[in-house]
Amino acid sequence: MKYRIQQEAREGTMLLNMGPSHPAMHGTTRIMLELDGEKVVNCELEMGYLHRGFEKICESKTYFNMLIYTDRMNYVSPLINNTGYVMALEKMLGIEVPERSQYIRVILNEFSRVCDHLTALAAMCMECGAFTVFLYMMKAREYIWDLMEQTTGARMTTSFIRVGGVRSDFPADWKETTQIAIDETRKVLKDCHGLMSKNKIFLNRTRDVAVVTPELAINYGWTGPCLRSTGVNYDVRKAFPYLVYDQLDFEIPLGERGDNFDRYMVRMQEMEQSLRMVEQCMAKIPKPSSPYSSDGRGLDPAEAISASRTKKPGQGIRLSPNLEGTEKGKYPGILAGKKYIVPPKEDTYTNIEGLINHFKFFMRGHGIRPPKGEVYFSVEGGSGELGFYIISNGTDKPYRLHLRAPCFHIVAALEELVRGHFVADIIPTFGSMNMIGGELDR
């Protein structure tokens, strides 16, 4: 079978494959180029090298078990994926999330956004030859991942957001760790601004290259930093506020020309705004519903059952240290909707009712069962509007699920952006789009 570019190729030009094994294509995208010397005359994009049938898989998984699959889409900011999916379900179920849990979600979502932008810009700068900036940005990401690991138990695929709230509360010293991550990230951003924002070589590689007009961006369905780089003021957090974003003071950075440099600068400025929001949430977050346990000694199930039979009134069951933050006493502050949450481990380990409820939650035909109907809910992801459209037939599995992936719409315009430019311009242009294969191909 001949591709379109092979059929349209003219005499005197050369056809060249760029990717999928090319390092700048991340192993997941192939661009077929028609070149006149170094100039791109025509090109055709082929994606799908990372396709694994996410939406079809969801039809055979329960609503709870689907959560881990959302982590694997935009794996650089998985907590935002968790939040979008879970809030779509909460909209169907009519669940009101506790206020403290909403603040926890916003803090983790904004840190995830910073990680997303750090990764995108680090790759873009490295592919332009600025390897030092790549190392600096990865250093900043490590501070944030330390906080993520301390809170969720994982660095990337966290599966932390739950229907009705979050899996656990923050650890006792989370504010100190958070402030360290904020301070160190700000230092890195300042250094990177100094290295790149007025760098003559970087400006020559990015300024007035791959310019996108607002009309073209809207026609392709662009959202997020790429759309805002063209000057269009659209952000889901402002246009359709969710969680506690309407209680926070933040600005929406906009570009002027819609070129590669604007896409870089908008992300740099957005990271500053995300850190501002985290600081506001730290100041406004309600106090936890119960004090943190100072006893780090864990109990195995048999010991817990024995303790439950002899405990004095008001004495709680001590859980293993790896379950810190999931204590039953914290549930009122972080989870809502008793029918739709996993029973506390204290109940599962110590009484028959809790064990039965635990089994029933995971049994086929039980667990989370939204009413018949359909719902769409979107959040502001790292690359733009991330939306979940779910059709429920009243069972514990979705009848249909569709993901509105922002990355797909942005990369679809790549063919039009690189025409007329040089082969070397493809790399910073592709990097400025922040292509994430798990989200693009699904």
pLDDT single digits (tens) 274-307: 999 999 998 888 887 654 443 334 444 545 555 5
- Under DSSP, the state recorded for 291 is P
Which residue from 152, 108, 113, 100 is spatially nearest to 284, judged by alpha carbons?
Answer: 100
Q: What pLDDT does 314 receive?
A: 45
Residue 177, helix vs strand vs coil: helix
Q: Is the pLDDT of residue 362 over 60?
A: yes
Give a yes or no: residue 412 inside a domain: no
In-domain check, residue 13: yes
Which residue shows structure tokens 């935009």? 74
Sign of the torsion formed by the C-alpha atoms of 180, 183, 187 and 192: positive
Residue 291: which of 407, 185, 170 has the closest Cα? 170
**Sheet with strand 30-36: strands edge to edge:** 14-18, 30-36, 39-46
Q: Say what the pTM is.
A: 0.86
Tokens encoding 108: 């983790």
- pLDDT tens for 3-50 read 666 566 566 788 888 878 777 777 788 888 888 888 888 888 888 788
* 234: in domain: no
Q: Which two tokens stand for residue 47?
A: 């994606």
DSSP per-residue codes, 76-135: TSHHHHHHHHHHHHHHHHTPPPPHHHHHHHHHHHHHHHHHHHHHHHHHHHHHTT-HHHHH
Single-letter residue type at 235: D
Quote the number of domains for the chain. Answer: 1
Q: pLDDT at position 278, please?
A: 92
Provide the domain limits for residue 24: 4-46
pLDDT value of residue 316: 56
The verdict on residue 35 lying in a domain is yes
pLDDT at res. 4: 65
15 domain-assigned: yes
Cross-strand bridge partners of residue 96: none
Does 96 fall in a domain?
no
In this structure, are strands 165-166 and 39-46 parallel, antiparallel, or unpaired?
unpaired
Percent of the residues in the chain that have a pLDDT greater than 70, as a whole number: 89
**Residue 278 falls inside a structural domain:** no
Residue 9 belongs to some domain of the structure: yes
Q: Which of 216-220, 307-311, 358-362, 410-414 has the lowest mean pLDDT?
A: 307-311
Three-state DSSP at 236 gives: helix
Q: What is the mean pLDDT of the chain?
A: 83
Q: Nearest to residue 26, comparing CAs of 387, 442, 431?
A: 431
Length of the chain: 442
